Structure 1
Amino acid sequence: MVQPFLFISPVFDSESFISDLRTFVPFDTLRSHLSSRNRELLDHINRDYADFANLSTKLVDIDATAGRMRAPLLELREEINEFRGSVEAARVARAIGLNQRCGAADAREVLESSLDAFRVVSKVEKLIQQQQDGASTTGTQSRLLERIAGELNRLKFHMTHAQNLPFTESLEKRIQSASVLFDASLRNCFIDGINNRDSKVLYNCLRAYAATDNTKNAEEIFRTTIVAPFIHKVIAHEAYAGTSGDELENDYRQIKHFFSKDCKMLLEISSTDKSGLHVFNFLANSILKEVLSAIQKVKPGVFSPGRPTEFLKNYKASLDFLAYLEGYCPSRSAVTKFRAEAICIEFMKQWNVGVYFSLRFQEIAGGLDSALTSASLVFIPDSDSDKRSSPVLMLGQSVTLLESLRSCWKEDILVFSAADNFLRLALQLLSRYCNWVSSAVDARKSNASLSPGCEWAVSATAEDFVYVIHDVNCVVSEVRGDYIGHISHYLSSCSSEVLDLVRKSMLQGVESLDNVLPLVKKTIIEVIVDKSVEELSQLKGIAATCMMSNKPVPIRHSPYVVGLLRPLKAFLEGDKARHYSTHETREELLLGTLTEMTRRYYELAAGRLSDARKTETYLQKSRQNAQKRAGAAASGVTDHNESGTEKMCMQLFLDLQEYGRNICALGLNPADIEPYCSLWKCVAPPDRQNTISV
């Protein structure tokens, strides 16, 4: 659809419009439409031709008409310009008048401020002279000083509004002299108020300092005149006397006693609610600042983490001292403000907890690493019960692990601010012990060079690995129980989310240790089976004996069968297995050992039997060929040789029955052991293969 506004557009192009329109309307249609438009135009002209012809006659004398209209318009423009000029002149005059008025007001204000400053200076000088000449009490002097402080505050305001004037500059010497006298008088009155424990005098003096915005001076006076002498007396005396070395606990105890006795009133006054004295921070800028300065000068060694035990003791004593100072803060916001003070931040920076943890890490982790890199297991005799941790552990490596884990959360080792690092260390200790156990298991299977601490596994007995399983179970039980409980108790101030994460991380750490137990049990099974397999070497003799032609049919089991399960029985009946392994573990080891032992028995017996059958088949074919060449003379020999395989099967069947009876004596049903069933089907007579009976 064609939009009408296109025809009145400045950029309308008829040719382009028609060219675009051809895509929608045929050219013939456009041509017929043009013809109809032309006819309509001619009809309009013919219909209104009279008006069209008279159009030119109506436009006569247009210039004269325009000239008559231009004259009044020009006159109106001149009047407007004149009015605009008068208005602008009035505006400029009014602006000048206002500027002059503002200047006069400013000059008057400066003059009044100058006169007020002169009057206030005179009044301050009079009050100071009155304060110095009078024999009034300290309370009266403090009230007078508070009044002077108010006047000085007013004077400061007036001097700010009358700067760079000769008159006010002439007052500066008088103001400076009055300020010096005021500061000296206020200082003396403030010190007298502290020494006499006069709360009214202290209130007045502190309000005077606050009014003159001179809080730093009050804090410095209190620090140098009251705090410093006692602090240096305590710390320097302890250091020079050598009674406590670099310990701070006794120093802090004396300082606390001094503050609670001689400084408590000032601290309580400065923290009084709605008193306007919250601008003072005597705790940080007077007390803590002087304590830090004295320690740095007299006992700088307390900040050295090179002696971890002393460092931690002093660090905790310092935290307790900070908590004591925070006890004077009236609100939580005041505590936050105290901790944000520069001197408080500087005090905490002196204690390099990161270096302290590094030293403890080397001490704890290094001790465990030394124990785990030993070439042999360290057994703890029953008589050395005092050396064991609870629960009872049998290996020195396990004892060292549990002691190292507990060291991470001992009061004389742990730093609460580094609790996350100590938690990570505990997890690393568990991981290191787990890696030690798994590496020892792998060492028995690998012929590669042994890593330090795994040498013992090559020659270790099954009983040695029983100790390992026992200790791993004890460690897992201890960590999941009392150890996590101890950590949770120590971190009780943390949120429940944090405690839950700590618990999950520790449980995950011991889970990896618990998962290594199946590998250790498998190693025990392999050790026992390796001993038992030595008896199976006698199967070679059975094959040779049974293939002899003059050998009668066997009627009893072979002697080697009795020795097959002797190592397993000795292991299960030994004191170590009975005392240091659970019933479930022994049952698991029994089934696993019998299964593996029977599997090897089956593979070896089936292999020997298969070789015998192949040999017998080959000999039979050879004899048959010989018979064909020599006649039937050797037929009797063939009958005897054909029974060799059957005699071997019978012997193996008798041995398997005895082996099954020995299994029953250990408390298991041979039919429940899959390799035993396979071997039974391999050697049993055809009529007995479906029923296993020993």
Structure 2
Amino acid sequence: MADLLLPPRSATDIFGDPIDAHPLWFKKECFLKAAFDSESYIADLRTFVPFENLRSELQSHLSSLKHELVDLINRDYADFVNLSTKLVDVDAAILRMRAPLVDLRDKISNFRSSVENSLASLQDGLRQRAEASAAREVLELLLDTFHVVSKVEKLIKELPSSPADWSNGDGVPSGERGSLSNAYAENGTSVRETQSMLLERISSEMNRLKFYVAHAENLPFIKNMDKRIQSANLLLDASLGRCFIDALEHRDAIAIYNCLRAYAAIDNTTGAEEIFRTTIISPLIQQITHNSSSDVEIGTSEDELEEYYQQIMTLIDRDCKFLLEISSSANSGLHVFNFLGNSILKEVLSAIQKGKPGAFSPGKPAKFLKNYKASLAFLCYLEGYCLSGSSVSKFRSEAIYVEFMKLWNVGVYFSLRFHEIAGALDSALMMAALTPLQNKPSDGNISPELTLKQSLTLLESLRACWREDVLIISCSDKFLRLSLQLIARYSTWLSSGLKARKAGNTGSNPGTEWAISAVPEDFIYVMHDIDCLVTEIGSNYLESVLRLLSSSAIEVLDLVKRSILQGGEILKDVIPLIMNAVRESLVEKSVEDLRQLKGITATYRMTNKPPPTRHSPYVSGVLRPMKVFLEGERATKYLTKDARNELVLRATEEITDRYYDLASELVNVARKTESSLQRIRQGAQRRAGASSDVADHNISDTDKICMQLFLDIQEYGRNLAALGVSATDIASYRLLWQCVAPPDRQASISF
């Protein structure tokens, strides 16, 4: 029954699927969903279905839909044809429905036109109203401007007109004193105060006038009033300046306060600062300069600034402190003034540039540093008048402050100090030989333990970098780098000399001659000085540097500490090279005596001498250079116990190695020679008809040589024990013992 429901199969339908069967990914029900979107549907399928396959399936589906539509029409064709016959009088119905719709559209159009006309009329009215309002505002602005100008001119007329009037009586002309008194002096204030109050009021009105002019500067009315405004500005500036000068001369705090507020109101802080500079500061500086010129005639250096600054600070405390306190008072609104920089520092800088131009020259480092530190102290004194950290930062950011600091060329100063300090060390290191100290300095700052001038110069140079009369804290990073460079230079001088000594060539590297001419005792001084320098650098020297930089961050101090300690480690790395040089020198001297060992063969070869009974004379001289070196005054006093033990052990091991090489070669040659002679002797006996089985019971020359060597190495072992070295601990000595000892003594080493 199920087979009857399936569509017919073709002959080529091998697997029994229908011809129009679609793949599993093609789902026809997706087209029937209300939210179906063709683009998203295709995009989803294209991720795993080729475009050609998708297009083929869609075309197949379209074809099947068309076939279904045709089948549907054919199936209900009668109803489809009758549909047109049932549509009777459709046009008449359409006309009946169109009439009310047209009428409604006409009414809506008429209403819309009416609304648009009303809206246009309303917008035109609003525009006219806005224009009228703007015109009214402009008119009010012009009227206010006119009233303010008139008011300012009226108030200015009440002010004195000449500088002489400000010094008449209480500071006003007699003819105007009555009006001023009537207007302001009824409250019991002085006339100078009333003048300053009037000027503050005028300044306030002038500030308002500037605001009006800024908003209507292009109008003809304002342009016509420009001359009146400029005249009022000039009169106000002149009157305010005279009042401020008079207040400064009489130290009238209230009048000064009012004048400063007036200057702040008209945004003319520069005018007040300039008046204070020319009226108060400049005469003071001229007075000090005149006194300094007199001192120069007596004999004082004209370029020194320390005493100059002291006089300036004294006069500032006496004659300027009152104004600085007024301008820096809390909640005064006078923080906009910078009398410290634009008045005091500006005048001081100008006076120094004119009267003491050589003070800024780094050509004389000592004087330059003294003046530089005095200048920093003076700036610190000025910063003492700043009441907060922000005001100090503002003072340091001022153009005059930056200009003042740029005049101090600390870079050139450091370069001069660099050549001075580094040059002294370089001169000491270029000497052709090590220079022991004859009379050691008694200065407590110099270590009395150092023995060489080169080492002493290094320590003096390192300390010179951080002396008070050399160091500039702002260049401390450069001086730290210089210190490390000095240590590296000293270390390079040592290592280069030792390499040249080993290579036996000094021509290509000047400054290494000392190492060629040095004897082992000289290297004791070098090792001792390195130990002293490392100890000094890691303790007292490091502490002094960290104390000078104590104001720096902890991270910075940690980096400084590590870098200095690393410099000490660089020096310690040279000690093994020096030990090798001493060892090689001692070994070479010892080997010179060992070469006499070859004479043993000549002593016993075909001489019929009796067997030896005592050691050879050369044995006593093998370790004599080592013994003399260790018992010398320098080694006894300066060579440490650890260095002594290490040197003795390594040197004796190498000497013993050379001893074994020479002895084993001597024994091997003797045995080969003995064997050759024995074969020759046996051949001669056979030719003579003698029996070759007769044994020679005499001691051979090789045995005598081995006996002599055995006696020698026993004495050598005793000499090693005298130096504190156990011969049995040396591998080459054990081999030497086995090489020359009799068979019955091979098992144990004793002497």
Q: Is TM > 0.5 for Structure 1 vs Structure 2?
A: yes
Closer/same/farther in 2, CA of residues 692 and 147 from structure 1, 3 Å limit:
same
Residue aligning to 1:521: 579
How far does residue 181 in structure 1 lie from its aligned partner after superposition? 2.3
Is structure 2 residue 505 aligned with structure 1 residue 477? no
AA paired with 1:248?
L
More displaced stretch, 62-71 vs 412-421: 62-71
Provide the residue aligned with 1:340 in structure 2: 397
Q: Shift in Å at residue 266 of structure 1?
A: 1.1
Are residues 384 and 287 of structure 1, via their aligned partners in 2, closer, same or farther at CA, if it must alter by over 3 Å?
Answer: closer
The yes-or-no answer on 1:296 pairing with 2:353 is yes
Q: Cα RMSD (Å) of the superposition?
A: 3.1
Letter in 2 for 1:292: L
Cα distance in 2, alignment partners of residues 319 and 216 from structure 1: 25
Quick check: 1:658 aligned with 2:715?
A: yes
Corresponding residue of 2:380: 323
Q: Secondary structure at the match of 2:540?
A: helix
Matched residue, 1:426: 483
Shift of 1:22: 11
Q: Distance in 2 between matches of 1:63 and 1:612?
A: 148
Match of 1:124 in 2: 152
Q: Distance in 2 between matches of 1:310 and 1:39?
A: 112
**1:20 aligns to 2:65 (yes or no):** no
- Write the distance in 2 (CA, Å) between the matches of 1:254 and 1:174: 47
Matched letter for residue 459 of structure 1: S
Partner of 1:588: 646
Given that residues 623 and 638 in structure 1 are in contact (C-alpha distance below 8 angstroms), is that contact kept between their aligned partners in structure 2? no
Over residues 271-321 of structure 1, what are the superposed CA-to-partner deviations in whole Å (9 max), with x where a residue is unaligned?
Answer: 122211111111111111222222222222222222211111111111111
Q: Any idea what SS the aligned residue of 1:246 has?
A: coil
Q: Secondary structure at the match of 1:59?
A: coil
Q: 3-state DSSP class of the match of 1:252?
A: helix
Once the 2 structures are TM-superposed, how far is the Cα of residue 44 of structure 1 from its aligned partner?
A: 8.2
Deviation of 1:399 (Å): 0.7
Q: 1:157 aligns with which of 180, 202, 211?
A: 211
Displacement of 1:461 after TM fit?
0.8
Q: Does 1:98 align with 2:126?
A: yes
Paired residue for 1:502, among 534, 549, 560? Answer: 560
**Equivalent of residue 572 in structure 1, options 594, 606, 630:** 630
Instruction: Provide the residue aligned with 1:86 in structure 2.
Output: 114
Q: TM-score, normalised by structure 2?
A: 0.85
Aligned to 1:411: 468
Matched, 1:631 2:685: no
Q: Name the structure 2 match of 1:134.
A: 176
What are the superposed Cα offsets for residues 195-251 of structure 1, whole Å, 9 maximum, x if unpaired?
222221111111111111111111111112211222233246535753232111111
Give matches, 1:96-495, under 5 Å.
96-132=124-160, 133-135=175-177, 137-235=191-289, 237-238=291-292, 241-242=295-296, 243-382=300-439, 389-450=446-507, 451-495=509-553
Asked if the contact 1:391–1:478 (Cα under 8 Å) also holds between the matched residues in 2, the reply is: no
Instruction: Tell me the CA shift for residue 51 of structure 1.
Output: 3.6
Alpha-carbon distance change, 17 to 158 in structure 1, aligned in 2, over 3 angstroms? closer
C-alpha deviation, 1:518, in angstroms: 1.0
Cα deviation code 1:542-593 (max 9, x no counterpart): 1221223411111111111111111111111111111112222222222222
- Cα 1:447–1:138 change in 2 (3 A) is same
2:643 maps to a residue whose letter is T
| CA deviations over 1:588-625 (Å, ceiling 9, x no partner) | 22222222221211111111112211222222222222
Counterpart AA for 1:281: N
CA change 1:677–1:208 in 2 (3 A) is: same
Q: Distance in 2 between matches of 1:533 and 1:585?
A: 22
2:611 aligns with: 553
How big is the shift at 1:678? 2.1
Q: Distance in 1 between matches of 2:378 and 2:53?
A: 93
Does residue 536 in structure 1 map to residue 594 in structure 2?
yes
Contact 2:433–2:518 under 8 Å retained in 1: no
Q: Structure 2 CA distance, aligned partners of 1:558 and 1:262?
A: 100
In the TM superposition, residue 61 of structure 1 has moved relative to its aligned partner by: 4.2
Contact 2:452-2:525 at 8 Å conserved across structures: yes
Aligned position for 1:597: 655
Opposite residue 468 of structure 1, the aligned amino acid is: V
- Closer/same/farther in 2, CA of residues 22 and 405 from structure 1, 3 Å limit: closer
Measure the CA separation in 1 of the matches of 2:113 and 2:243.
71
Distance 1:214 1:252, change over 3 A: same
- State the Cα deviation string for residues 105-161 of structure 1 (Å, max 9, x = none): 222222222222222223222322223253362122111211111121222223334
Q: Distance in 1 between matches of 2:504 and 2:444?
A: 36
Q: Distance in 1 between matches of 2:459 and 2:465?
A: 10
Instruction: Write the letter of the residue equivalent to 1:157.
Output: F
Alpha-carbon distance in 2 for matches of 1:257, 1:55:
120
Task: Identify the residue that residue 744 of structure 2 maps to in structure 1.
Answer: 687
The match for 1:2 is 26
**C-alpha distance in structure 2 between counterparts of 1:21 and 1:109, whole Å:** 74
The residue matched to 1:381 in structure 2 has which SS? coil
Seen in structure 2, the aligned counterparts of structure 1 residues 199 and 82 have a Cα distance that, compared at 3 Å, is same
CA contact (8 A) 2:506 2:512 kept: no
Q: 1:9 to 1:64 in 2, by over 3 A?
A: farther
- Alpha-carbon shift at residue 90 of structure 1 (Å): 2.6
AA aligned opposite 2:323: L
Deviations along 1:504-541, whole A, 9 cap, x unmatched?
11111111110110110111111112112211121111
Unaligned 5+ segments in structure 2 are 1-24, 43-48, 161-174, 178-189
Between the aligned partners of 2:443 and 2:675, the Cα distance in structure 1 is 70
The worse-fitting range, judged by mean Cα deviation, of 323-332 and 299-308 is 299-308
**1:689 to partner: Cα distance:** 2.0
The SS at the match of 2:615 is coil
Contact (CA 8 Å) 2:435, 2:454: kept in 1 or not?
A: yes
- Larger relative contact order (C-alpha < 8 A, sep ≥ 6)? 1
CA distance in structure 2 between the partners assigned to 1:624 and 1:170 by the alignment: 148
Instruction: Say if 2:422 and 2:461, in contact at 8 Å, map to a contact too.
Output: yes
**Shift in Å, 1:194:** 2.1
CA distance in 1, matches of 2:715, 2:141: 124
User: Alpha carbons of 1:21 and 1:667: their partners in 2 closer, same or farther (altered >3 Å)?
Assistant: closer
Q: Which amino acid aligns with 2:450?
A: L
Q: Which runs of 5+ in 1 are unaligned?
A: none
**Secondary structure, counterpart of 1:134 in structure 2:** helix
Specify whether residues 572 and 102 from structure 1 end up closer, same or farther in structure 2 by C-alpha distance, changes over 3 A only.
same
Distance 1:172 1:149 in 2: 17
Aligned equivalents of 1:627, 1:84: Cα separation in 2 = 158
Amino acid at match of 1:181: L
* Structure 1 residues 388 and 101: CA distance shift in structure 2, 3 A: closer
User: Would you say the 8 A contact 2:590–2:622 is kept in 1?
Assistant: yes
- Rounded to whole Å, the distance in 2 between the matches of 1:19 and 1:154 is 81
1:71–1:233 Cα change, 3 Å: farther
Following the alignment from structure 2 to structure 1, what is the Cα–Cα distance between the partners of residues 280 and 37? 94
User: How much has 1:24 moved relative to structure 2?
Assistant: 9.5
- Distance between the aligned counterparts of 1:357 and 1:627, measured in 2? 94
Identity of matched residues, %:
56
- CA–CA distance in structure 2, aligned partners of residues 349 and 664 of structure 1: 72
Contact 2:506-2:513 within 8 A present in 1 as well:
no
Distance 1:238 1:423, change over 3 A: same
TM-score, structure 1 normalization: 0.92
Secondary structure of the structure 1 residue equivalent to 2:734: helix
